[in-house]
Amino acid sequence: MTRRPSRLHLILIPLSLVMVAPLIWMVLLSVSTRDEARRFPPGLPSGVDWHNYVTAWTEGPFGTWLVNSAIVSLTCVVTNLVFCSLAGYAFARIPFLGSKVLFIAILATLMVPIQIIMLPMLIMLRQVHLTDTLAALMAPNLATPFGVFLLRQFFTALPRELEDAARIDGASRLRTLRSVLLPLMGPTLATLSVLTFLNVWNDFLWPLVAVQSPQNMTIQLGLQNFQSSHYSQVSVLMAGTVTSQIPVLVMFVLAQRFFVRSIASSGIK
Amino acid sequence: MPARRRRLRAGDHVSGWAFVSPVVILIGLFGLVPVIWTFWLSFQETDLTSPGTFVGTAKYSKMVHDPVFWQSARETGLYTLMFVPLTMVLALPIAVLLNQRVRGMLFYRMAVYVPLVTSTVATGIIFSQLANPDFGLINGALSKLGLPQQMFFQSTSEALPSVVAMTVWGWLGFAVIIYLAALQNVPGELMEAAALDGCGRVQAFRHVELPMMAPASGFLLVWLTINAMQLFDEVYVTTKGGPLHATTVLVYYLYTQALVNFDGGYGAALGVVLFLLILVVTLVQLWLGRRTSHYEAK
Amino acid sequence: MKHRRGRIFAAATTGLALAALTACSSGTSSSAGASKITMWHGYTDAEAKEITLLGKQWNAVHPDQQVELIFNGGNDGTLQKTLASFVSGKTPGVAYEYGSSVATLSKRSQTDDVTSLIRGTASFRWDDFFPAVQQAATVGGKVYGVPALVDNLSLVYNKKLFDAAGIPYPTATWTWTDFQNAARKLTDPAKKHYGWAYVNDGTEDTVWRYIALLWQAGGDILTPDNTKAAFDSPAGLQAMQLLHDMSVTDHSVYLDPGDQSYQSLFNGGKIGMLWTGPWDLASFDKVSYGVQILPGKLTHATISGPDNYMLFGKDGQQTGWAFLQWLTSPEVHLQFATATGDLPLRVSETKLPGYQTFLAKYPANKVFMDNLSLNVTKARPNIVQYPKISAAIGVAVQSVLLGKATPQAALDKAGAEVDQILAGN
């Protein structure tokens, strides 16, 4: 067979361009001058105006917002890994009283989005003086029903013999989990980490409801707040938008396969 | 041995509960309790700051007589009916394309996936600029082609389709990943057998691969529908529900009622309705999915 | 009311940086002796610089009454954020609020009624404030705000576009017909030139320009006793009809979706005329513009949208009140006005020698100042139902501008809705 360029490129190239165009346009606007960003018909910037980034960073505490987002997302990743592993293991392996009922109750909350529970959450958090704090942002995501479900599936599929030897040697369940099963859980935990991180990092509605002070905002809420005061400074707004997307974008480009596999496995039923 | 077994089981109860207790407490506190509370709140007149008063089903009868509620329900339905099929119909052929052996596939895939990690807020901000009637790239392209320029987010008839286009862009990568994973699970031998039987590539796809996409399609249908019904972020960032409520979807309406007008009871009642809608849609779709996959198994 | 979000170029929002530095001190803390309060503002650009400067001056000499200024992301979102802070329990001591927000906030227990403070402090000289300013802070005879800003709408036009179209500049005796004709002549679809711009997002920004038209035609929003809608009248119809004719028939109006793009368009020479206030002038650095009072029907009435500093909780009443008395005293406020281009709030400011410096620096503000004493004759009804009434009128204006309803149908619908709102529904 002779290999010549596939005709599929003729579809793939325009397709890719359409998908990437909005992001390229964002970057181009972010280095345009104010007049270049506001003309018709629109066109390429004549040079690279980095000044917009300086302006964006002096006018919006993007650093604080990024750090807040990182704190909130990473905390939720860690708590999900620990708590969901424990619960997933117990639901899969330990025959304890009420396990079925509990598991079904937890699964039922899979269908409850934040929109439905945000008002009582707000009232609850106020009563313990936690509104407008990073802790409030973490609360709904500290343990997710999806994580419990994912880990339970994993343990159910695992051969029982693996842990039996350790159990017969008298190791406690916790010890077995830590020393025998943990090394096998890598890919599943990685999946849970990626999905939890993306979810919490990109969350918008709950931060919008739970936080008012600029210093407690996450990057998404901060960006929206920044937008509302920079409507007419398109280039500066875009510089802020690029700033807000860079961390996850870089992670994605570096670890594409990893992201894709995680997202694909959220489709397992 | 009976004594030993009993002891073991008692230990199991203790360790079982110990293992699940963090999750049970957290999900109970931030998952189950608030749901029940929302139901309770929907029977109250409350501004969310002071204790409410019980008003029975007043909030629900208000809803029945509220034209904006009905409009928001309609816009949500319309949005879902456009968004879900469009995403799925576009995703499947793209997934098939991305499953071919072509040079540079890594880049093509990355291009399709990258909107997935772009946040909803950023998506909204970027598309507001792209679709700006006076300076936007899209109208720039239209005018180059000699086509009339459009108002997009600023027109009552184009705003909702514009939101659909924007969100399809954001979700396409997700649907493609799901389909691609399903395609890659199709055993190679099956396709080879089809080729031996004289099936063309297209026929092989129709008779071998397409039927095997049913579970993935079922999952996407449920997942995309649930998410479509929860649309909020992109609307908040681009149109704020306007113009003339043309993009006031249910969750946006809930937000404004509860946290702009501070009618907490009404917001909660809207939440209850949303909850029931999601529940019904999910159950119906799961049931349909079971039926269809049953037929295909035969 | 003024929309600040568009007015920023090299804004040094020092307030934000300040806020970031002093994390964890949101809300209010009153440790023994010294009391420290937070004050939310949406100032940007020159105003942000000036308020920060004034804040530092105050804090330097008042160690016991510290004020921490926090930029809250822009004035448009302040009402929403304030209400949310009542739910979260972390309310600022003072916040800059739009005049249209007073009625809503006055209903809330967290909001301070400052009537007795104002009346009990002779040195504050409440009567010295312009009448429009006093009215805007008062709901049902009680005062809920300390005046923060006064403005009004005037006609701002691009001289070059008028010259090019061969139209004489607007005069103080311009009629609606003159205005409509000029807008039509200034419109050029091929070049994407518009005669006029109208903010069409359905908010109070949409409504107040209509109210000015309504007053010019001799109408009013509500009956004098505030019990029924009065805009569904011949005057209301004339005003609506003008909007319809200009937007739907002439296509001479640029409809701004609420992102303040009209500013860039005017500055880029794409829009001939605006109805806007002093806050926009600083952004028009590329065009040669003139300012004239609004065109008239029966009168040349205009509308003023004063904003207030509102006080919340005990902190607001103590430290907040002390700070605001100083901030709005004639000398200090004139300093603020001269640095920012805001109009003076008090009559006595116009008697100070510094006022001439102000006028020399902002010559266009002369029209706005004259307007304030001549054409600001009425105020919006400051009643608790006002936000709902405004929303109903907003929808009516929007549907007429978009050609979705006839002027009469839109008025009938809004009139019925407003009657229902006032009847307690």
Phi/psi at C310 (5° precision): -110, 150
- At A2, the pLDDT band (50, 70, 90 cuts) reads low
Q: Does C76 touch chain B (CB under 8 A)?
A: no
CA closest to B257 among chain C residues = C80
Rounded to an integer, the average pLDDT of A253-267 is 83
Rounded to an integer, the average pLDDT of C199-225 is 94
CA closest to C258 among chain A residues = A231
Rounded to an integer, the average pLDDT of C87-113 is 89
- Give the integer Cα–Cα distance in Å for A68 and C169: 54
| Percent of chain C that is helix, strand, coil (3-state, to 5) | 50, 15, 35
Contacts C259 to B, Cβ<8 Å: 128
- Give the integer Cα–Cα distance in Å for C253 and C246: 6
Q: Which two tokens stand for residue C43?
A: 């100032």
Cis ω for the linkage preceding A140 (within 30 of 0): no
Q: Which residues of B touch C (CB under 8 A)?
A: 47-50, 128, 132, 134-135, 153-156, 240, 242-244, 259-260, 262
Domains C14-150+306-374 and C154-303+385-422 share a fold: yes
For residue A179, what pLDDT is reported?
83
For residue C425, what pLDDT is reported?
59
Q: Which amino acid is at C24?
A: C
Of A138, A92, A106, A154, the C-alpha closest to B25 is A106
For residue A107, what pLDDT is reported?
86
Examine the pLDDT at C372 and tell me if it is beyond 60: yes
- Give the integer Cα–Cα distance in Å for C15 and C44: 9
Mean pLDDT rounded to a whole number for chain A: 89
Check CB contact under 8 Å for A267 and B219.
yes
Mean pLDDT rounded to a whole number for chain B: 88
For residue C249, what pLDDT is reported?
96
For residue C214, what pLDDT is reported?
97
Contacts B47 to C, Cβ<8 Å: 86, 108
Rounded to an integer, the average pLDDT of A6-24 is 92
- At A25, the pLDDT band (50, 70, 90 cuts) reads very high
CATH, domain range C14-150+306-374: 3.40.190.10
Query: CA of B247 to nearest chain C CA: how many angstroms apart?
Result: 13
Interface with chain B: mutation pick from A4, A19, A69, highest number of B CBs within 10 Å? A19
For residue C22, what pLDDT is reported?
36
Contacts B242 to C, Cβ<8 Å: 201-202, 257-258, 398
Examine the pLDDT at C256 and tell me if it is beyond 80: yes
pLDDT in tens, B78-109: 999 999 999 999 999 999 999 988 888 999 99
- Give the integer Cα–Cα distance in Å for C99 and C88: 24
What DSSP element (H or E) covers C94? strand C94-97
Contacts C42 to A, Cβ<8 Å: 229
Interface with chain C: mutation pick from A54, A212, A235, highest number of C CBs within 10 Å? A212
Query: Which has more confidence, C424 or C216?
Result: C216
Q: Does A8 touch chain B (CB under 8 A)?
A: yes
Q: Does C425 touch chain B (CB under 8 A)?
A: no
Of C51, C59, C54, C53, the C-alpha closest to C4 is C51
Rounded to an integer, the average pLDDT of B114-139 is 93
Query: CA of C206 to nearest chain A CA: how many angstroms apart?
Result: 18
Phi/psi at C96 (5° precision): -80, 120
pLDDT in tens, C269-300: 999 999 999 988 888 888 999 999 999 999 99
Count of residues making up chain A = 269
Q: Angle between the B67-98 and B214-229 helix axes, to the nearest 10 degrees? A: 150
Distances (CA, A) of C121 to A15, C83, C125, C315, C322: 70, 29, 8, 18, 11
- Give the integer Cα–Cα distance in Å for A186 and C118: 67
- Give the integer Cα–Cα distance in Å for A91 and C389: 56
Cis ω for the linkage preceding B215 (within 30 of 0): no
User: Per mean pLDDT, which range of B33-37, B75-79, B202-206, C372-376 is the poorest?
Assistant: B202-206
Contacts B282 to A, Cβ<8 Å: 111
Torsion of CA C287, C291, C294, C295, to 10 degrees: -80
Q: Which two tokens stand for residue A107?
A: 């699964």
Helix (H, G, I), strand (E, B) or coil at A172: coil
Check CB contact under 8 Å for A215 and C22.
yes
Q: Which two tokens stand for residue A149?
A: 């479900």
For residue C5, what pLDDT is reported?
33
Give percent of chain A above pLDDT 70: 97
Q: Does A5 touch chain B (CB under 8 A)?
A: yes
Chains touching C by CB (3 or more pairs below 8 Å): A, B
Contacts C192 to B, Cβ<8 Å: 134
Q: Angle between the C204-216 and C234-244 helix axes, to the nearest 10 degrees? A: 120
- Strand-pairing partners, residue C255, are C198
For residue B1, what pLDDT is reported?
41
Check CB contact under 8 Å for A253 and B278.
no
Residue ranges of domains in chain B: 62-297
Q: Which amino acid is at A177?
A: L
Is residue C135 within 8 A of residue C382, CB to CB? The reply is yes
User: Per mean pLDDT, which range of B9-23, B117-131, C388-402 is the poorest?
Assistant: B9-23
Nearest-5° Cα angle at B173, B169 to B175 = 105
CA closest to C85 among chain B residues = B49
Buried b (16+ CB within 10 A) or exposed e, A199-209: bbbbbbbbbbb
Residue ranges of domains in chain C: 14-150+306-374, 154-303+385-422
Check CB contact under 8 Å for B130 and A25.
yes
Phi/psi at A110 (5° precision): -55, -30
User: Residue A24, exposed/middle/buried by CB under 10 A (0-12, 13-18, 19+)?
Assistant: exposed
DSSP string, B133-171: TTT-HHHHHHHHTTPPP--GGGSTTTHHHHHHHHHHHHH
Indicate if ipTM > 0.85: yes
Strands C154-158 and C194-199, by their bridges, are unpaired
Q: Which two tokens stand for residue A61?
A: 């505490």
- CATH fold for the domain made of C154-303+385-422: D-Maltodextrin-Binding Protein; domain 2 (3.40.190)
- Give the integer Cα–Cα distance in Å for A157 and C421: 61
Check CB contact under 8 Å for C26 and A230.
no
Check CB contact under 8 Å for B48 and C87.
yes
Query: Which CATH number does the domain B62-297 belong to among 3.40.50.720, 1.10.3720.10, 2.60.40.1180, 3.30.9.10?
Result: 1.10.3720.10
Check CB contact under 8 Å for B243 and C261.
no
Phi/psi at B101 (5° precision): -95, 100
Contacts B122 to A, Cβ<8 Å: 26, 220, 223, 241, 244-245
Helices (H) and strands (E) in chain A, counts: 15, 0
Check CB contact under 8 Å for C83 and B242.
no
Interface with chain A: mutation pick from B17, B19, B116, B260, highest number of A CBs within 10 Å? B19
- Give the integer Cα–Cα distance in Å for C239 and C214: 6
For residue A15, what pLDDT is reported?
95
Q: Does A132 touch chain C (CB under 8 A)?
A: yes
- Give the integer Cα–Cα distance in Å for A139 and A76: 9
Phi-psi region of C243 (alpha: psi -120 to 50; beta: other; left: phi over 0): alpha
Phi-psi region of C258 (alpha: psi -120 to 50; beta: other; left: phi over 0): left
Interface with chain B: mutation pick from A7, A10, A12, highest number of B CBs within 10 Å? A12
Q: Which residues of C touch A (CB under 8 A)?
A: 4-13, 16-17, 19-20, 22-24, 26-27, 42, 44, 70-74, 76-77, 81, 84-85, 87-90, 192, 259-261, 263-264, 268, 283
Check CB contact under 8 Å for C87 and A131.
yes
Contacts C261 to B, Cβ<8 Å: 132, 134-135
Q: Which amino acid is at C109?
A: S
pLDDT in tens, A58-97: 888 999 999 999 999 999 999 999 999 999 999 998 888 8
Within 13 Å of residue C137, how many CA atoms lie on the same side as its CB? 27
Instruction: Kindly give, in sequence order, each residue whose CB lies less than 8 Å from that of residue B126, ignoring residues fewer than 6 positions away.
Output: A22, A23, A25, A26, A238, A241, B118
Give percent of chain C above pLDDT 90: 67
Which letter does DSSP use for residue B207 in this model? I
Name the maximum alpha-carbon separation found in chain C: 70
Query: CA of C83 to nearest chain A CA: how many angstroms apart?
Result: 10
For residue C13, what pLDDT is reported?
32
CA closest to B239 among chain C residues = C257
Examine the pLDDT at A13 and tell me if it is beyond 50: yes
- Give the sign of the dihedral formed by CA B86, CA B87, CA B89, CA B90: positive
Task: Please name each of the domains of chain A with its CATH number.
Answer: 46-265 (1.10.3720.10)
